[in-house]
Amino acid sequence: MTDLLETATKHRQFLHQIPELSFKEFKTTNYIRQQLSYLDIPYFEPLDTATVVYFKGNSGEKETIGFRADIDALPIKEETDLPYRSSHEGAMHACGHDGHASILLTFAEWLKEQHDAGHLHKNVMLIFQPSEESNAGADALIQAFPFEEYHVSQIYGLHLGPDIPEGTLATKPGFLMASATEYRIRVKGLSAHVAQKDQGSSALGAVTQIATQLSQVQHYFLNGLHQNILHIGKLYAGEAINTVATEGYIEGTIRTYDPEDLERIKVKMEEIISATDSLYKTESKLTVAKGYPSVYNDDELMITVTESSRRADLSLELLKEPYLFGEDFSFYSSIAKTNFAFLGVRNEEKGFIHGLHTALFNFDEAMLEKGVYYYQSILHTLGALT
């Protein structure tokens, strides 16, 4: 029988040393595939850094239960004193993806034992996905792999949660996390000397006007009961102290839950930019990235999650409000029912208090075993084991 904690800890500490950025997870993927090969677990390679495992159950049923882990890291310089700290300067597993991948790898080894012993009743798929932090790796993988051929009916995902107490599984039905959409606005004006500023078209004036109007969108044009963010993260304009600004730029992010709100925001942004160009005689262009949809937890799967958390000895916390963080797990809702949950890793006595995307983020690896127990419990709850 697999020693879950020892196995998960081994995987996590190795992966933590080799953090790699989105779509560049070559060492990470090589390690995952080496471990699978060592266990004689076959796998698919739909992308250079995506790995999919399929276990066929003995029931003859077509439907498949899916589990997903993301594997990429962040461009953050690690500041912990861990003996297995990052060996890649300027990169760190500051979002816990090393933990997510370790849970799934450990689960894979246990699943192999169940499969070989004839205990696996239903089909199971494991998804090691690249590029969650940027460039929508989930979307790319869905386009590259024929999930429909495997009749994936439900997909579960976990994320370590440093603001949630150890031993707690936090989730909620419906919207759990916001859509995340990046936008960029480029403004082109006409240069002129400040002494003849009326002969120019000020990109600075236009940028200022656009920024002011964007800040009013939530207040005046969206449902006041809905949570939305239209954020400006970067803004600049101008070239010299005594000239009318020729170039201007704004970039930021939009966070919404309701897809209709996102569409309203994009329409209003176009109207603001058009009106500003008319006023300042500038030429502006809005570019909105495809973005990540909202993470939506299917109501039916909450029944399984509730029972599975009990089986795994996790305290279930039903969140009252969704998070405004983005997560590309959301794309899997286009192919199956989904549930995403946070596995609490906060422990103030042990010093595990630092948030995601920070240089000091860390957690007690005993929580990885809890994650494996939870995935095992889902299979028990669904009658996937005999």
Residues taking part in catalysis: 70, 133
Instruction: Report the distance separating Cα 271 and Cα 265, nearest Å.
Output: 10
Q: Is 93 labelled as part of a ligand binding site?
A: no
Instruction: Report the distance separating Cα 43 and Cα 115, nearest Å.
Output: 15
- Residue pair 13/84 in contact (Cβ under 8 Å)? The answer is yes
Q: Is 271 labelled as part of a ligand binding site?
A: no
Q: Is 88 labelled as part of a ligand binding site?
A: no
Tokens 């000020």 belong to 202
Beta-carbon count within 10 A of 148 CB: 10
Q: Is 97 labelled as part of a ligand binding site?
A: yes
Q: Which amino acid is at 98?
A: D
In the structure encoding, which two tokens stand for residue 188, read together? Answer: 């082109």
Contacts (Cβ under 8 Å, ≥6 apart) of 130: 22, 23, 25, 29, 47, 49, 50, 70, 71, 72, 137, 140, 141
Q: Is 133 labelled as part of a ligand binding site?
A: yes
Distance between terminal CA atoms of the chain? 17
Length in residues, the chain: 386
HEC per residue, 34-64 = HHHHHCCCCCEEEECCEEEEEECCCCCCCCE
Q: What is the dihedral of CA 188, 193, 195, 201, to 10 degrees?
A: -10
In the structure encoding, which two tokens stand for residue 287, read together? Answer: 């570019």
**Which segments are annotated as binding site for Mn(2+)?**
95, 97, 133, 159, 357
**Which segments are annotated as binding site?**
95, 97, 133, 159, 357
